[in-house]
């Protein structure tokens, strides 16, 4: 073990010189909500004590998401929470809303600050299994003057889980109270890709048009659905909801985890991706479809095309794998006014999984392939801009369990490289830094490039939500919230970072890692990326279609940012590295 640890330390140390060259700067992490002093987790009586599996106990904080208002500096954070400002939630857990803002230090660095005086519970539900605001997400509407939160809830006297929405103004006041927006007979609705359920297709000051994936699992239709709807704001600031389309795309639903998006140029054509199959694990492949959400068509007539992207494979060793966990996001570019817009290209990501569900804690199986591609999508079936490529060996350490994802831009503002970040956490509660992995699409070589890892705040993707959720050891899960925004402090105090990546997570406080009774805390990590171009240069985006098929390349084709990106940043210097090493020690111990 000591020899292996020594080699691991040398490997991490070998990454450190790249920090100074990386355009992905060190994260600034803030604890937004501390673990409760009174809501403690059950532990065993052994020495040392260990977390004890307890049905419906709740992990303290779970499934954290944020959204920003139009000023780019203030926002709202939402968490399934058991103790807010020392006040315990009714019926064990409710949806907490915490206002926060971004602030800048004298050295130019940007971090998040909680405005706890305005924090409050926005639900008071009494639900089955105490899941009183399950699977929440958040987004801004009406040009950033309001923020809405969606969540699931099944009343104790009900039989189906249903989807609800609430909306708030910049003061935190409720402008749309809890309103049911989706339900199916004898099915539980709804589930979606870890990123989000809902995409803003088009918006102005009074009307926002949205599209969402609604995975509904149960004993009824048991389908994955696309829902399109509008939110409208009246002169008094009150918001109303109206559904415009509901169409089944996935007839064999178990854990479809789908997602739908639109391009800025064509807000009426939604592209959706999902995993299909009624078994655990699913065995009917990963799929994609296009749907007309203009309102001109209804029901199944709105589907423009639908096709399987990846399916069953057999490895050289004779192992059968199944394509699962379909994910996509839009490749972004900067328009003539300097604003971000979604293109007609997406990054596809799916996993080749060897199934092993509910046996020996092997829930979800083993990931043997990490498939990625760049596709051009629209009203006709997709075409590959970059062919499907197994990135497992090129992105070592990146797996697929509850993987957060968002599109991003890297490099310098005169030559931006389109790409994505993936957020992966700990199977064992956190207590040390989670990992943000940046991947760029190098147009010149038409290849995905590993831009390195950045340490962010702890993220528990499994342990506390699983051990303290419903059916411990089987159900109970966590998600993170990750978003990409313009930096409102660009040019102030010497700040040259054009964009910020915001990551909201819940995980064990490093100071409480030896206290299993302490539940999860909430964090926001702010990661600056993409610096302004040197004086005298212009601006642009290197996000167009590439050519060629050398998708295993690590080298850029010119002297641009593709040759200078990469590296491993750590939060707070040695502290972040220490948490990474703790994680390596944990991995080594588990293998012995």
pLDDT digits (tens, 9 = 90+) for 402-447: 788 999 999 999 999 999 999 999 999 999 999 999 999 999 999 9
pLDDT (0 to 100) of residue 75: 98
Q: Give me the mean pLDDT over the 228-245 stretch.
A: 98
Whether 548 is in a domain gets the answer: no
**Token couple for 473:** 């050891």
Task: Using the predicted structure, report yes or no on whether residue 363 has a pLDDT greater than 70.
Answer: no
pLDDT (0 to 100) of residue 356: 60
- CA dist 153 and 167 (Å) reads 16
pLDDT, tens only, 502-528 = 999 999 999 999 999 999 999 999 999
Q: Is the dihedral of CA 389, 390, 394, 400 positive or negative?
A: positive
**Token couple for 218:** 């149960």
- CA dist 9 and 543 (Å) reads 37
Burial of 55 (0-12, 13-18, 19+ CB in 10 A): middle
Cβ neighbours of 431 (radius 10 Å): 22
Query: Binning pLDDT at 50, 70 and 90, where does residue 395 land?
Result: very high
- The 3-state DSSP class for residue 281 equals coil
Encode 4-30: b = buried (16+ Cβ within 10 Å), e = exposed: eeeebeeebeebeeebeebbbbbbbbb
Whether 550 is in a domain gets the answer: no
Q: What is the mean pLDDT of the chain?
A: 86
- CA dist 6 and 267 (Å) reads 53
Q: Give me the mean pLDDT over the 61-69 stretch.
A: 97
Whether 54 is in a domain gets the answer: yes
Query: Domain tally for the chain?
Result: 1
Query: Binning pLDDT at 50, 70 and 90, where does residue 24 land?
Result: very high
Residue 175 phi, psi (nearest 5)? -110, -10
Query: Binning pLDDT at 50, 70 and 90, where does residue 40 land?
Result: very high
pTM equals 0.87
Q: What is the DSSP letter of 548?
A: -
Between residues 303 and 570, which one has the greater pLDDT? 303
pLDDT (0 to 100) of residue 537: 56
pLDDT (0 to 100) of residue 239: 98
Task: Using the predicted structure, report yes or no on whether residue 571 has a pLDDT greater than 70.
Answer: no
Whether 15 is in a domain gets the answer: no
Could you give the percent of the chain with pLDDT greater than 90? 74
pLDDT, tens only, 68-102 = 999 999 999 999 999 999 999 999 999 999 999 99
Between residues 548 and 222, which one has the greater pLDDT? 222
- Domain of residue 437: give its range: 2-8+23-543+562-591
pLDDT (0 to 100) of residue 568: 32
Whether 380 is in a domain gets the answer: yes
pLDDT (0 to 100) of residue 357: 52
pLDDT, tens only, 554-563 = 333 333 322 2
pLDDT (0 to 100) of residue 159: 87
Please, which residues have CB within 8 angstroms of residue 297's CB and are 6 or more apart in sequence?
none
Q: Give me the mean pLDDT over the 482-502 stretch.
A: 97
pLDDT (0 to 100) of residue 538: 53
Q: Give me the mean pLDDT over the 240-251 stretch.
A: 97
Q: Give me the mean pLDDT over the 238-249 stretch.
A: 98
Q: Give me the mean pLDDT over the 198-204 stretch.
A: 97
Q: Give me the mean pLDDT over the 212-223 stretch.
A: 92
Ranges 195-199, 211-215, 450-454, 580-584: which has the least confidence: 580-584
Query: Binning pLDDT at 50, 70 and 90, where does residue 220 land?
Result: confident
CATH number reported for the structural domain that contains residue 106 in this entry? 2.130.10
- CA dist 182 and 100 (Å) reads 29
Query: Binning pLDDT at 50, 70 and 90, where does residue 539 land?
Result: low
Task: Using the predicted structure, report yes or no on whether residue 204 has a pLDDT greater than 60.
Answer: yes
pLDDT (0 to 100) of residue 570: 31
Whether 514 is in a domain gets the answer: yes
pLDDT (0 to 100) of residue 542: 57
Task: Using the predicted structure, report yes or no on whether residue 578 has a pLDDT greater than 50.
Answer: no
- The 3-state DSSP class for residue 236 equals coil
**What count of residues does the chain have?**
592
Whether 553 is in a domain gets the answer: no
- CA dist 471 and 555 (Å) reads 48
pLDDT (0 to 100) of residue 30: 98
Q: Give me the mean pLDDT over the 186-208 stretch.
A: 94
Whether 556 is in a domain gets the answer: no
pLDDT (0 to 100) of residue 504: 98
- CA dist 159 and 161 (Å) reads 7
């Amino acid at each position: 073990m000591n020899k292996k640890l020594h080699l691991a330390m040398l490997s991490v140390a070998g990454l450190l010189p790249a920090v100074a060259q990386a355009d992905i700067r060190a994260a600034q992490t803030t604890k937004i909500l501390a673990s409760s002093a009174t809501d403690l987790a059950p532990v065993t009586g052994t020495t040392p004590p260990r977390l004890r599996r307890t049905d419906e106990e709740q992990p303290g904080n779970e499934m954290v998401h944020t959204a920003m208002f139009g000023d780019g500096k203030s926002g709202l954070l939402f968490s399934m929470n058991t103790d807010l400002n020392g006040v315990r939630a009714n019926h064990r857990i409710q949806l907490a809303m915490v206002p926060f803002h971004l602030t800048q230090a004298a050295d130019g660095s940007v971090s998040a600050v909680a405005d706890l005086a305005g924090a409050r519970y926005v639900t008071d539900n009494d639900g089955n299994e105490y899941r009183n605001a399950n699977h929440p997400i958040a987004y801004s509407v009406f040009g950033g003057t309001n923020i809405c939160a969606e969540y699931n809830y099944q009343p104790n006297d009900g039989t189906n889980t249903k989807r609800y929405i609430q909306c708030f103004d910049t003061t935190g006041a409720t402008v749309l109270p809890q309103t049911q927006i989706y339900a199916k007979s004898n099915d539980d609705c709804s589930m979606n890709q870890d990123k989000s359920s809902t995409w803003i297709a088009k918006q102005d000051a009074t009307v926002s048009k949205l599209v969402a994936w609604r995975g509904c699992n149960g004993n009824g239709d048991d389908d994955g659905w696309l829902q399109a709807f509008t939110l409208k704001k009246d002169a008094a600031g009150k918001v109303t909801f109206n559904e415009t389309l509901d169409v089944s795309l996935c007839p064999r639903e178990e854990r479809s985890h789908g997602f739908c998006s639109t391009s800025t140029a064509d807000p009426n054509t939604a592209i959706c991706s999902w995993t299909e199959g009624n078994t655990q694990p699913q065995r009917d492949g990963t799929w994609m479809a296009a749907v007309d959400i203009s309102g001109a068509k209804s029901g199944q007539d709105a589907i423009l095309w639908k096709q399987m992207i990846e399916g069953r494979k057999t490895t050289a060793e004779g192992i059968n794998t199944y394509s699962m966990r379909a994910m996509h996001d839009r490749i972004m570019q900067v328009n003539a006014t300097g604003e971000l817009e979604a293109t007609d290209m997406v990054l596809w990501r799916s996993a080749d999984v060897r199934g092993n569900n509910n046996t020996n804690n092997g829930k979800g199986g083993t990931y043997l392939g990490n498939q990625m591609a760049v596709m051009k999508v629209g009203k006709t079936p997709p075409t590959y801009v970059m062919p499907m490529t197994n990135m497992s060996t090129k992105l070592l350490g990146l797996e697929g369990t509850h993987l957060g994802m968002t599109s991003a831009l890297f490099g310098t503002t005169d030559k931006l490289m389109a790409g994505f970040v993936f957020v992966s956490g700990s199977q064992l509660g956190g207590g040390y830094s989670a990992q943000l992995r940046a991947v760029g699409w190098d147009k010149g070589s038409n290849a995905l490039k590993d831009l390195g890892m950045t340490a962010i705040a702890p993220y528990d993707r499994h342990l506390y939500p699983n051990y303290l959720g419903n059916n411990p050891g089987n159900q109970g899960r966590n998600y993170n919230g990750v978003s990409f925004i313009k930096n409102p402090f660009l040019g102030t105090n010497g700040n040259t970072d054009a964009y910020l990546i915001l990551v909201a997570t819940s995980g064990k406080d490093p100071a409480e890692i030896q206290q299993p009774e302490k539940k999860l805390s909430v964090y926001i990590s702010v990661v600056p990326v993409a610096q302004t171009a040197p004086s005298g240069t212009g601006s642009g985006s290197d996000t167009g279609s590439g050519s060629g098929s050398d998708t295993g390349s690590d080298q850029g084709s010119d002297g641009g940012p593709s040759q200078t990106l990469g590296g491993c940043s750590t939060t707070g210097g040695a502290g972040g590295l220490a948490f990474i090493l703790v994680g390596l020690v944990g991995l080594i111990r588990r293998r012995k």
